[in-house]
Structure 1
């Protein structure tokens, strides 16, 4: 039996979304002058535009790309891209985890795309993306939040390809560099890598995507929240702070605070470095722990954000399926009860697992302190004490 550790994480927030707030965050630091005012007022609209401009600056988004704030978090932004752009040519939807499979269901059951290729893979794997024709529009998830599997590169997207590339990057932006030259519609939510509040999403469009929106009218009706055009041209006001619906200015100010924190520590590269360092702590521990393995076998496809791990070994393998499913739940529940670590059980539809968020808003020392507690809880469970 292992001895109960003595060091506790100072910030026990390990959720994969909404994720940990940036270090030093507090409500008192937020600008609240826009609260209680119209989002169309000069000041509030200026804050929304500032959020957009700072996003472009920090992510290195090309000047001729448009960035807009959308309702409905990443889901709203991604589905807006699908509803407004797909159907003009053959399409592929590629998925290797829970949310990617939602986009497949959208394409098959809601949009009912006629010329559709579906590529999927199990948790921890990536399908063969070289099977995707370059003339096809493609929808894919850069980084699988629920499986811990990410694309290793964008070599499978040819430069100047005919089809559009629609990229769900919600747990990748600010943790991995985006290859903007090959991306036409990219979406993410504030609640992920930046530790912002949920509700709003970002939609980033290339000139090629704008041309598609302006030249193509889908066969299906578009709800107001997805209408990006004014007449036969894209409504550029949406990408200058005139959001489609009323945004939360408090959530907006929280997003701005997160962006300003990123800028203060050195920009996106600093965030990449922090996520890489945090993930290395967890991955090294997994390698050194005989009863644990990374859900993703290929190191090139292992994420640096939501690292997912599954149990193995003689004791675990001897359990019934029901008891196996209970192992990560009991460990996560016990450590949450003790205020050691919150929300690091695996995703509900994934194989029984633990998932530790390693994005740049977390401090490495808190991750180091969590891991011995997982070892302790595992041994307590084996001994029948949990």
Structure 2
């Protein structure tokens, strides 16, 4: 591939490639929110109807089984995950899988805060996936479907047995609506609106299987449960949470925004349309990577490469000869240069991840914008390489 300091001529129409909050859906405008239930109680008939609409549209697009429940909960995906950990763990031993930063955060929760002792950490470095064959499903299992900061996803759900004894608790915030989730393999799944739907932050979603509900109603953890995590009352599931009665006050503006995103998702073919758009973005980057002399995927195996949080590493020999500190500076300068040119915003890697770039490829991102971005990545690399006097 030729290298040039002459910038390309075509720019992405939308330079928002952040991994969260993510790009709004194509054609979005604040005027789409004019029917929001503002200045009203979320517990009013109209407010509750909006919340119920968001729940029901989500269930339909995701293809949830009829006996699964979906509820809107506080504090984004983090709140939803912690709600599951605090409410459900402790009855069985735990296997917790971690191959990026957020997986490691859940380890801190269960070991340092809940102080569970019968915990097996199954860890892999950035770019790799833990050995799924070693998971013990007589234990509860906590894992991510897609590593937002590593760009590594599980290839499928075949590794999860249908006759498992423990619960599977899955953080799928950067996977849901962009990847096919086999619901029969999942007991608890969490996400937020700010990822593939391009919604606003601070609201989480929790999905419960009948097995998870049975655990909630039959098991009381040894620790106190904060109010915003409580899903049961007097030993019974609080069904209202899954019918529009939220635990705390939601933003009705954010609710209207996610309804708008869900209506758009339905208009492009629902889940299959969303998945196709994300996979097309990955395919465009894959084609470019095959020809690149300096970039590669952080995810080592093709079947584990994310179609949403697409993480790239720099493999040029001149770059790899730099110190770790200079490598980090190099990648940061690339991201800053692209931001200054209004080509791509927020594509620096997560602070704990290896130096490189992270490009959001979720369904709200147009493939034409991805294709327009790629020559600019070459330009930015060549420009920064010259500044660092990296050898060819």
So what's the TM-score if we normalise by structure 2? 0.97
- Structure 2 contact 36–256 (Cα < 8 Å) conserved: no
Give me the whole-angstrom Cα distance separating, in 1, the residues matched to 2:330 and 2:263. 40
- Structure 1 contact 160–182 (Cα < 8 Å) conserved: no
Give me the whole-angstrom Cα distance separating, in 1, the residues matched to 2:99 and 2:317. 29
Give me the whole-angstrom Cα distance separating, in 1, the residues matched to 2:387 and 2:369. 27
Give 1:164's aligned residue: 167
Matched, 1:247 2:227: no
Give 1:128's aligned residue: 131
Shift of 1:89: 1.0
Give me the whole-angstrom Cα distance separating, in 2, the residues matched to 1:367 and 1:153. 25
In structure 1, the residue corresponding to 2:147 is in which secondary structure?
coil
Matched, 1:43 2:46: yes
Out of 138, 142, 145, the position equivalent to 1:139 is 142
In structure 1, the residue corresponding to 2:191 is in which secondary structure?
strand
Shift of 1:114: 2.1
Give 2:13's aligned residue: 10
Give 1:324's aligned residue: 327
Give 2:260's aligned residue: 257
The 5 A counterparts of 1:1-386 are 1-384=4-387
- Structure 1 contact 32–250 (Cα < 8 Å) conserved: no
In structure 2, the residue corresponding to 1:15 is in which secondary structure?
coil
Give me the whole-angstrom Cα distance separating, in 2, the residues matched to 1:384 and 1:77. 44
Q: Do the aligned partners of residues 147 and 385 (structure 1) sit closer, same or farther apart at CA in structure 2, a change above 3 Å counting?
A: closer
Q: Deviations over 1:293-342 (max 9, x none)?
A: 11011111111111111112232123222211111110110111111110
Unaligned runs of 5+ in 1: none
In structure 1, the residue corresponding to 2:95 is in which secondary structure?
strand
In structure 1, the residue corresponding to 2:299 is in which secondary structure?
coil
Shift of 1:377: 1.4
Give me the whole-angstrom Cα distance separating, in 1, the residues matched to 2:299 and 2:16. 23
- Structure 2 contact 36–253 (Cα < 8 Å) conserved: no
Give me the whole-angstrom Cα distance separating, in 2, the residues matched to 1:237 and 1:151. 33
Worse overlay, 149-158 or 235-244: 149-158
Q: Deviations over 1:246-290 (max 9, x none)?
A: 000001111111011000111010010000011111122112111
Q: Do the aligned partners of residues 182 and 385 (structure 1) sit closer, same or farther apart at CA in structure 2, a change above 3 Å counting?
A: closer
- Structure 1 contact 97–144 (Cα < 8 Å) conserved: yes
In structure 1, the residue corresponding to 2:380 is in which secondary structure?
helix
- Structure 1 contact 73–201 (Cα < 8 Å) conserved: yes
- Structure 2 contact 172–190 (Cα < 8 Å) conserved: yes
Give me the whole-angstrom Cα distance separating, in 2, the residues matched to 1:236 and 1:127. 36
In structure 2, the residue corresponding to 1:383 is in which secondary structure?
helix
Give me the whole-angstrom Cα distance separating, in 2, the residues matched to 1:291 and 1:374. 10
Give me the whole-angstrom Cα distance separating, in 2, the residues matched to 1:156 and 1:70. 29
- Structure 2 contact 295–314 (Cα < 8 Å) conserved: yes
Give me the whole-angstrom Cα distance separating, in 2, the residues matched to 1:113 and 1:314. 45
Kindly tell me the number of residue pairs found equivalent between the two proteins.
386
In structure 2, the residue corresponding to 1:7 is in which secondary structure?
coil
Q: Deviations over 1:33-67 (max 9, x none)?
A: 41111010000001000100001000000111111
Shift of 1:385: 8.6
In structure 1, the residue corresponding to 2:61 is in which secondary structure?
helix
